[in-house]
């Protein structure tokens, strides 16, 4: 297995998508680092009113 060095850690940015669901956008914040363009969102909540 080839080891690679982490070149940059990108902090997720708060975002909202779809029906106003709150999420954190990790990939897609600075798309110039990825080819082809990728987007990765994480969402989840203990509060049902967030959805």
User: What backbone phi and psi angles, to 5 degrees, belong to 47?
Assistant: -100, 110
Distance of CA 3 to the CA centre of its chain: 24
Pair of tokens at residue 20: 């106003």
3-state DSSP assignment of residue 1: coil
Cβ atoms of residues 22 and 16 within 8 Å: yes
Q: How far apart are CA 39 and CA 17, in angstroms?
A: 13
Band (pLDDT 50/70/90 cuts) for residue 27 is low
Q: Is the pLDDT of residue 37 over 60?
A: no
**At 36, is the pLDDT very low, low, confident or very high (cuts 50, 70, 90)?**
low
Name the average pLDDT for the chain: 72
- What percentage of the chain carries pLDDT values higher than 90? 0
Mean of pLDDT values over 8-34 = 72
């Amino acid at each position: 297995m080839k080891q690679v060095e982490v070149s940059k850690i990108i902090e997720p940015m708060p975002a909202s998508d779809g029906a106003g669901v709150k999420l954190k956008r990790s990939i897609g914040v600075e798309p110039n680092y990825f080819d082809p363009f990728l987007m990765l969102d994480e969402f989840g909540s203990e509060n049902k009113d967030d959805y």
